[in-house]
Amino acid sequence: MKIALDITSGDLAPKSTINGAKNYLSNNPKNNLILIGKKSHYKSIKISSEYKNRIEFIEANQSIDANDRPSRVFKTKPDSSIVKSISLLKSKKIDAVVSAGNTGCLLASSLLILGKIKEITKPALAAYIPTSEKGFVLCDVGANANNKPNHLLEFSLMSEAYITYLEGVKNPRVALLNIGNESNKGNELFVDTYNLLDSKLNNFIGNIESRYLFDNKADIVVCDGFTGNIVLKLIEGLVNKMVNWTKESINNHSISKLARPMLYPVFKDIKKSFDYEEHGGTPLLGVNGIVIKCHGSSNEKAIEHAISKAEKCIKNDFIKKINISINKLNK
């Protein structure tokens, strides 16, 4: 098993990426990793000999910035960590790629170099959102701003493979994110998508409003990428704010200083229940290869868990499982 980690990309790289790699190796003593990026980044973080013996470093010196066109990066920046990683995956020299790099560049490079899985017309990003009970998959969360009903059907089927084989949820319930429960709610896209999902999926339970996302009503929630990205970022921001606001409120009230520390473990448990970093990254669904996209601000814990997710995808033959899910519909 060969997993490549892009150590150059990400807001907190290379510290977060390299330390995340070391944490993964520490907890998985039989596994090795391939680190791809700038030599200066690789040398900037001290790596002990026990880890160096299990790391292969591949140099990639070009940098991708905000001005680069995602559709041209694979030609203009072939020596960037993203393009080099995807190219190695294409040539089957590695089994999976993990990157916290620019979403557009990672997605475009993956599509242009690896191509799409057969029968898939658009790729998607599906984020696993943990809750106090088990969690749900939200798809799409940013790969596509413009969608048609058949795209959301594909998202549903790919998410089904995701949550079944990576999260262990059997017969997942699929819901369509909408502004109301009725089948005629929403714009033309959502009305038509409702009818399509209802006719094609045995496990479709109808529309779900955003206020019920955390009520364990659905295992998969599908939407267009524009809406999904807004929802994902709102969840991330709100959870952190709520915990901090509650702490501040307690500190401002006349609660004994001795009692306050007793409440903090409760907040820690609540925050962990909704912590996306516990799940690290999300696979690019529909791409013909295992590519795990991490949050741009991923810390070392998130990177470690993203590598573990890549390992899980490899062991579960994830691309084949998506094909099986798609073929069920065709039959």
Query: How confident is the prediction for the chain on average, in pLDDT?
Result: 90
Tokens of residue 284, six digits: 């690019």
% of the chain beyond a pLDDT of 90: 70
Question: At a CB cut-off of 8 Å and minimum separation 6, what does 323 contact?
Answer: 117, 118, 119
Work out whether the CA dihedral 239, 243, 244, 248 comes out positive or negative: positive
pLDDT value, residue 193: 97
- Spatial strand order in the sheet of 96-99: 55-59, 33-37, 3-6, 96-99, 291-294, 281-285, 124-129, 136-139, 220-222, 174-177, 204-208
pTM of the prediction?
A: 0.88
Q: Which residue has the tokens 């262990």?
A: 168
Contacts 24+ apart (CB under 8 A), 30-35: 31/1, 31/3, 31/311, 32/2, 32/56, 33/3, 33/4, 33/5, 33/307, 34/2, 34/3, 34/4, 34/5, 34/58, 34/88, 34/94, 35/4, 35/5, 35/7
Q: Cα(74)–Cα(77) distance, rounded to whole angstroms?
A: 6
Give the model's confidence band at 253: pLDDT under 50 very low, under 70 low, under 90 confident, else very high.
Answer: low
Give the model's confidence band at 142: pLDDT under 50 very low, under 70 low, under 90 confident, else very high.
Answer: confident
> pLDDT per residue over 15-34, tens digit each?
999 999 999 999 999 999 99
Res. 14: pLDDT tops 90: yes
pLDDT value, residue 239: 72
Alpha carbon dihedral 76, 147, 134, 217, in 10-degree steps, equals: 170
Res. 50: pLDDT tops 80: yes
Residue 170, SS3?
coil
Give the model's confidence band at 271: pLDDT under 50 very low, under 70 low, under 90 confident, else very high.
Answer: low
> pLDDT per residue over 68-102, tens digit each?
899 999 999 999 999 999 999 999 999 999 999 99
Mean pLDDT, range 4-8, rounded to an integer: 97
% of the chain beyond a pLDDT of 70: 90
Give the model's confidence band at 65: pLDDT under 50 very low, under 70 low, under 90 confident, else very high.
Answer: confident
Intra-chain end-to-end CA distance of the chain, in Å: 33
Give the model's confidence band at 290: pLDDT under 50 very low, under 70 low, under 90 confident, else very high.
Answer: very high
Give the model's confidence band at 122: pLDDT under 50 very low, under 70 low, under 90 confident, else very high.
Answer: very high
What is the b/e burial string over 19-54, where b = at least 16 CB atoms within 10 angstroms of the residue's CB?
bbbbbbbeeeeeeebbbbbbeebbeebebeeebeee
